[in-house]
Structures are given as C-alpha cells and as structure tokens.
Amino acid sequence: MNIDFTVKKIAKIFNGKVIGDDEVTIKGIGTIENANKGDITFLSNAKYINYLDKTNASAVIIDNSLTIPKKYKPTLIKVVNAYESFAILLTEINKANILVKKGIEKPSYISKNAKINKNCYIGAFSYIDENVVLNEKVKIFPNCYVGKNTSIGSNTIIYPGVKIYPNTVIGNNCTIHSNSVIGSDGFGFAPQENEEFITIPQIGNVIIKDNVSIGSNTVIDKATIESTIINEGVKLDNLIQIGHNVEIGKNTVIAAQSGISGSTQVGKNSMLGGQVGVVGHLKLGDFSKYAAQAGVSKNTKNNQTVIGSPAMPKDQFIKSYIIFKKLPSIVRQIEELEKKLSNLQSK
C-alpha cells in the first residue's frame, strides 16, 4: 500500500491531537511490534503500552484513555478510539490508491448508448452493455461485465472479474469484490408429471443500495418478479448465496459460506455467523444474531439470538445442550436401572 502522508495530514482525517513532530512523513503501515521507521501503527490496549519505548514506528495512533509513559519514541496521535481511527486511515489510504485510476483502458467494449461519467475508470477487457449508466468516479477493474440497463452510483468500486447481469441497480459508495455475480437466475424449477423439471423464468432484478460491501465469489440472484434487495450499509463476506426475492435489512452483516433461501426477509442490524443456512419464505427479526452453522427454519423475533440446527433461542439451546452432554451417562443409568428392575422382576 503506497502512502505519502505527513502526521499532520493524518491527524486531520479523524481530528487527532499530535504529540511530537507533525511533519514526519509516513510511508507504510505496521503492527506496533514489527513496524519499521516511516510506518504508522495504533495502540488501543494498555497491555501493549510498553511497546511505545520499543517500537520502530514513526507514529502511533493512541487512545485518549491510555496513560502515556514517560519514555516513548514515536510521534503520537491521541484520539477517542484508536482502533476506529486506524480503520478510517486505512480506508482513506485505500481510496487514495484507487482514485488514481482514471480513463478507459483498451481493449474494452462500451456501447454507444452507455452513459459514462468522465471521471470513471474502466479496466481492460471489460464489457459495458447498452444503456448502462456509470456515475461519478465509478471504478470498474479489468475483466468485468456490466449488463444492459444497469445503473451504478457514484464512488462505487467493481473489482476484477465481477459479472453484473442486466437491469441491476447499484447505489453510491458500494464495493463489489472479485468474481462475484450479481443478478443471476434464481433457483426456480417446476416439477412435471414425468418427474422432470422445467425452468421458471426469472424476470426481476437486483437492487443494491448505498454503502454496501460484497465479498469475493458471492452470488446474489435476481428476483423471479420484482426485486432482490440489499439495503443500505449491508456487509456481505466472501462465498455467500443470496436467493431470489430475498431482502436483507440495512446494516446487516453476514459471514462467509452463509446461504439465504428465496423470498426470505432478514431484519435490519442483524448478524449472521459463518455457514448459517436460512430456509425460504421466512421473516427474521431486527437486531438479531445467528450463531455460526445455525440452521434457521422458523421466523425469528427482534433482538433474538439463535443457535444450533435446527436453530432455537440461545437460552433454550443452552438448557438443551446441558442435557445433551449428559446423555451418555443418562443412558448408562437407564441401562443399570433396567437391569436392576429385570432382576427384581425375575425374583
């Protein structure tokens, strides 16, 4: 990651207070243990406070809550939340590296009917179909396909190999990582009397609203009719399957290898762990949490945590698990009682 910021410039990003030389130039990023001269790092845990006198980093973003020792080497940037500020810095650096990309690389195909903002970037071997609209500062990296009638909002980044099917709507400030597929057919097949299946045409689309992040190799199916909707602020990990006509509530996060079956509504501000499976046509509550590998087969309430497969509320699962762990000893006790009862009956 290329960096060329002064400490003064970095501190302005998150309104930090500089203690030391604010003209120090930062060229890289490292951990507080392994950083080199010219690097910046962060410190939010008092456990590592002694590293302030050992680190080779030129600057450290540090929590206001931590007591600074008498001996320390780097320039400090004091902030309310060092971890959050470091994340903001990484975001700004990443933007700076990406924003240098401009223009249209060749060979690429761009339809004459496409509307491309002059500040966009389109990488080589990309295909932009009819009536596509790319708004300000959209970045489309090489080997991407954008189907006809698709609209992509400002400052959205489409990484290499992404395939966006026709009629998709993508909002502002979104990120779609490599090899994801947006708008493929939903899994719709009708059984016939001869035990074969015929395909149900999928004529809807996908709508992705603002500030959504989609990981690599994730697939979002278009709706059979109407729209599959990913609401504002949703964060999807790698390798996720979102079925047709699903709606994901705003600010929900879903970890890798999870699958949401068709026509399910996932509530806002929810958290789904890795490998969660959700059956179709459910309504899941807001502010709910789903433990890794949960198999969700029923509607859930707001502010609920569910665990297990089939999934159940956390308190029920814990009570059941206590009993489940004891099953081997309970079986032995039952067998012993059966022997004693058999002996009594024989007497």
Nearest 5°: phi and psi at 90?
Answer: -60, -40
327: confidence class by pLDDT, cuts 50, 70, 90: confident
Torsion of CA 87, 90, 95, 101, to 10 degrees: -150
Q: What's the whole-number mean pLDDT along residues 93-114?
A: 86
322 has pLDDT over 90: no
Average pLDDT over residues 92-109: 83
Strand partners, 283: 265
Mean pLDDT of 244-271: 98
pLDDT at 110: 97
User: Given this model, what pLDDT does residue 330 score?
Assistant: 86
Q: Give the pLDDT mean for 308-336.
A: 82
Q: Tell me what the mean pLDDT of segment 7-30 comes to.
A: 94
User: Is residue 252's pLDDT more than 70?
Assistant: yes
Residue 154 has pLDDT above 60, yes or no: yes
- pLDDT band for position 2 (cuts 50, 70, 90): low
What is the arithmetic mean of pLDDT over 261-286?
Answer: 97
Taking residues 303-315, what's their average pLDDT? 86
Q: Where along the chain do the CATH 3.40.1390.10 domains lie?
A: 5-99
- 244 a catalytic residue: yes
- Per-residue pLDDT for 142 more than 60? yes
Predicted pLDDT of residue 312: 78
| Confidence band of 1 (pLDDT split at 50, 70, 90) | low
Q: Which stretch of 177-186, 246-255, 323-332 has the lowest confidence by average pLDDT?
A: 323-332
**Cβ proximity of 75 and 56 under 8 Å:** no
Selected residue with higher pLDDT from 251 and 325:
251
Q: What percent of the chain has pLDDT over 70?
A: 99
In angstroms, the Cα distances linking 224 to 75, 220, 244 are 57, 13, 6
Catalytic entry in 244, 270, 277, 285: 244
pLDDT at 325: 81
At residue 99, does pLDDT exceed 70?
Answer: no
pLDDT tens digits for 205-219? 999 999 999 999 999
- Predicted confidence (pLDDT) at residue 165 exceeds the cutoff of 90: yes
The domain made up of 5-99 has a fold known as 3.40.1390
- pLDDT band for position 101 (cuts 50, 70, 90): confident
How far is it, in rounded angstroms, from Cα 118 to Cα 104?
10
Tell me 47's DSSP state. Answer: G
Q: Where in the chain is the domain with CATH 2.160.10.10?
A: 103-313
Burial class (CB in 10 A: 0-12, 13-18, 19+), 347: exposed
* pLDDT at residue 187 greater than cutoff 70: yes
Q: In whole numbers, what is the pLDDT of the chain averaged over residues?
A: 93
User: 288 and 303 in contact (C-beta within 8 Å)?
Assistant: yes
- What is the pLDDT averaged over residues 295-305? 95
Any idea which fold 103-313 has?
A: UDP N-Acetylglucosamine Acyltransferase; domain 1 (2.160.10)
